[in-house]
Chains A and B, each alone.
Chain A
Amino acid sequence: DTAVSQTPKYLVTQMGNDKSIKCEQNLGHDTMYWYKQDSKKFLKIMFSYNNKELIINETVPNRFSPKSPDKAHLNLHINSLELGDSAVYFCASSLRGSGTEAFFGQGTRLTVV
């Protein structure tokens, strides 16, 4: 069974469109994350969310918004897509405490044309 799964794996879309990436974890974790990996492989946190608080990286444009229907899901919505949004987006989950590792999905490669 896949621990953290995200869909789609590839997403090609035009500028100005609105798109969503879905993420689900079956590990019983209480915290989920979205990371953006740029062309230089750097992984930057975008959001951290548990059932109590949402932490937003202040550098993330407000066109990006996380939505969590329940503890096992954290979807990423992107409005008015721009060329610079092209990247690989990773979903992850963990328990809140510092001693546990985060588990990552396989990534979604978003290409904006």
Chain B
Amino acid sequence: AQSVTQLDSHVSVSEGTPVLLRCNYSSSYSPSLFWYVQHPNKGLQLLLKYTSAATLVKGINGFEAEFKKSETSFHLTKPSAHMSDAAEYFCVVRGEAGGSYIPTFGRGTSLIVHP
């Protein structure tokens, strides 16, 4: 079985300050991990992905994430938040589970950015 835990349902930051969205995963096999962003009333956009290459992954809009196998974590960071970063963020794991590779979502973290 595989699962994802997003440790914070809401994260609030001021514009220009760093962002940290936390994600821990559980998977029986070496998983692939993804972060998606959903702006209000919009679809899901891929921010970045980890697929067993470099453990530090850079994505779009200045986001990056580090895969730490020893901690089973895949936290998302950005050095400086922008107002346009306000959105819902989802950590997703995809690994072999009973012969299928169904993407499994965390419950999401709402990022709030204050001026």
Contact = CB atoms under 8 A, between A and B. Distances in A.
A48 interface: yes
Q: Which of A41, A43, A97 has the most CB of B within 10 A?
A: A43
A94 B51 CA distance: 15
Contacts of A51: none
A102 B94 CA distance: 10
Given A99-B32, A99-B52, A101-B34, A92 B103 contact: yes
A40 B46 CA distance: 20
B107 interface: yes
Interface in B81-103: 88, 90, 92, 94-96, 100-103
A105 interface: yes
A98 B44 contact: no
B104 interface: yes
B-side interface size class: 20 to 34
B51 A102 contact: no
A101 B32 CA distance: 9
Interface in B34-54: 34, 36, 38, 42-44, 46, 49, 51-52
A80 to B, nearest CB: 27
Contact of B31 (A33, A48, A98, A102): A98
Nearest to B34: A101
Nearest to A95: B101
Nearest to A50: B100
28 contacts: A31-B101, A33-B103, A41-B107, A41-B110, A42-B105, A43-B105, A43-B108, A45-B102, A48-B102, A90-B43, A90-B44, A92-B44, A92-B103, A94-B101, A94-B103, A96-B101, A98-B31, A98-B32, A98-B51, A98-B94, A98-B96, A99-B32, A99-B52, A101-B34, A101-B49, A102-B92, A102-B94, A104-B36
Interface of A: 31, 33, 35, 40-45, 48, 53, 55, 90, 92, 94, 96-107
Interface of B: 31-32, 34, 36, 38, 42-44, 46, 49, 51-52, 88, 90, 92, 94-96, 100-105, 107-108, 110
